[in-house]
């Protein structure tokens, strides 16, 4: 089974609810909604991490093409 990584988005085909993986997960993660397995979306949200304070940010809409997040006077590292 494909490994579930941070930033992966699952959508419920019944009610349309969407969830995003925000913590490192194992392949055991299998989110359900409305008694139905949620489907992984093709889009994976970009996640950035600050190596100094541990802050993490994720892009939730729009494009990360021109994104260049800084924290603690340093460039945040892309981790997903």
CA atoms within 13 A on the CB side of 75: 5
Least gap, CB of 75 to Zn ion (angstroms): 11
Decide: is 12 part of the binding site for Zn ion (CB under 5 A).
yes
Decide: is 60 part of the binding site for Zn ion (CB under 5 A).
no
Decide: is 72 part of the binding site for Zn ion (CB under 5 A).
yes
Tokens of 4: 């579930």
User: 69: left (phi > 0), else alpha (psi -120 to 50), else beta?
Assistant: beta
Residue 59 phi/psi, 5° resolution? -75, 120
* Binder among 18, 27, 32, 34 for Zn ion (CB under 5 A): 34
Decide: is 39 part of the binding site for Zn ion (CB under 5 A).
no
Residues within the interface to Zn ion (CB under 5 A):
12, 14-15, 17, 33-34, 50, 52-53, 55, 71-72
């Amino acid at each position: 089974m494909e490994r579930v990584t941070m930033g992966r988005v699952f959508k419920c085909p019944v009610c349309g609810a969407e969830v995003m993986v925000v913590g490192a997960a194992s392949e055991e993660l299998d989110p359900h909604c409305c008694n139905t397995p949620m489907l992984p979306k093709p889009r994976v949200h970009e996640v950035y991490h600050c190596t100094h304070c541990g802050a993490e940010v994720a892009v939730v809409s729009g494009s990360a093409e021109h994104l260049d997040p800084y924290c603690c006077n340093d460039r945040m590292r892309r981790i997903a």
